[in-house]
Chain A
Amino acid sequence: MKSIIDKLNKAFENRVRLGIMSALMANDEVDFNQLKDLLGVTDGNLASHLKALEEKKFIETRKQFIGRKPNTRYRATLDGRQAFQSHLEALEALLKGQ
């Protein structure tokens, strides 16, 4: 049991980060406002979690302009996808092991 718990990734312990990664696994690219609507969190809260995931190189950003408004889009990196996949498998293994 202990070894499976070790496989859980600390980076995904937070619900907001878990939500961000889930949305980026199911879609190629998601922008900041879509994530905000989806997760129902404040700008600042979302931004800090995005930053943390970006620092771990689990997600990457692409900034562009739509008209005159800046628009930041996010996508999961290969590392991020693999890390999230192992986290998911560990979660499922833990629940099966009960």
Chain B
Amino acid sequence: MKEEQNYQEDLTHIRDIMERSSRFLSLSGLSGVMAGVYALVGAVMAFLILNQRQELPQWKRMHPNDPFIAQQLILVGVGILVAAIGTGFYLSRRRARKMGVKFMSATGMRLVINLLIPLGTGGLFVLMITYQGYYGLAAPLMLIFYGLSLLNASKYTLPDIRSLGLAEVVLGLINTAFIGYGLYFWAVGFGVLHIIYGIAMYQKYER
């Protein structure tokens, strides 16, 4: 009987080491919630910026073919990105400490690199096409690139990230059929989905 218990413990030990050595597990669900909140605040700011020009008819206001407005929107976007990454970094580090593991481990670095390669590509691509005036494509492309980046990163962290990535891609593709409503899709993808997933992951892993 004692031996059988040992075998079970051996198997549990093997699984635990395999998982801990290959995935970054201290990703904090709360950071997802906070990223979602920042995104919703940003979306409201973007809405106000776009509606500054009351002289335009409603349908035209969502197309910011004005470099000054585009600049303001990019500033808001970069602001959200910095706040979300900063908070995610801080909360995940705190969680790693609580779990008693190193934060800047090889698995953490691998996650960051595999997230940033597709995400950086997407970010530069979106900046370049908006610079050329394709504003309507900005939101769907951000959603699609972000979703694919998460899909790629999900191999190196909590596997739940994979379905979040798929949801973002689907949302981006639907948005491509409704150009001009990008802000709403963006708010759902980066705001609502982050909050839902963040809460679900918090419930699942951190309580």
- The stretch from A16-24, A52-60, A61-69 touching chain B is A16-24
* B4 with A22: CB separation less than 8 A: no
A residues adjacent to B (C-beta < 8 A)? 15, 18-19, 22-23, 25-27, 30-31, 34, 37-39, 88, 91-92, 94-95, 98
Say how far A22's CB is from chain B's closest CB, in angstroms. 4
Is B97 in contact with chain A by the CB < 8 A criterion? no
How many A-B pairs have beta carbons closer than 8 Å: the answer is 52
Contact of B14 among A30, A39, A88, A98 (CB under 8 A): A88
Say how far B13's CB is from chain A's closest CB, in angstroms. 6
B residues adjacent to A (C-beta < 8 A)? 4, 7-8, 10-11, 13-15, 17-22, 101-102, 105-106
Contact of B4 among A30, A38, A88, A94 (CB under 8 A): A94
* A91 with B11: CB separation less than 8 A: yes
Contact of B21 among A18, A34, A92 (CB under 8 A): A34
| Given A92-B11, A95-B8: A23 touches B18 (CB 8 Å cut-off) | yes
* B21 with A23: CB separation less than 8 A: yes
Contact of A38 among B7, B11, B20 (CB under 8 A): B20
Residue among B17, B18, B20, B22 with most chain A CB within 10 A: B17
